[in-house]
Amino acid sequence: MGKQALDIFRQSLPILQVLSDSNRQDILLFLSENEKLTVNEITERSKLSRPAVSHHLKLLKNAGVIDVEQIGTQRYYYLSMQEAVELLKKLLAALERDCL
């Protein structure tokens, strides 16, 4: 693997790591089916506790695959995957170029 591919792979690791967890995958599916959801709405749809949902949301936000909007006293979470998808596309292109 070339240096550029390795650099892109390292940049992609946070995204790949958060996507590897089935609970976070479920949260992403909930968000894909709804424009925006609160922590409580996500908790109602999942088998996780509210603190666990909050923890997973924090990891997803830190990885750049979701974002949050404050409306009044509520925080609404929504998918925000454009940058993550672009980075993963770069990774695939680099792997195809260097490894195939």
In sequence order, what DSSP letters do the residues of 12-45 get, joined into one string?
A: HHHHHHHHT-HHHHHHHHHHHHSS-B-HHHHHHH
Domain 3-99 sits in CATH at 1.10.10.10
Query: Could you give the 3-state DSSP secondary structure of residue 88?
Result: helix
How large is the average pLDDT for residues 8-28? 96
Residues 6+ apart with CB under 8 A from 91: 5, 8, 9, 12
Question: For 43-100, what is each residue's pLDDT tens digit?
Answer: 999 999 999 999 999 999 999 999 999 999 999 999 999 999 999 999 999 988 888 7
Per-residue pLDDT at 46? 96
Per-residue pLDDT at 35? 92
* CA–CA distance, 63 with 40 (Å, rounded to integer): 21
Domain residue ranges in the chain: 3-99
Per-residue pLDDT at 98? 83
- pTM value? 0.89
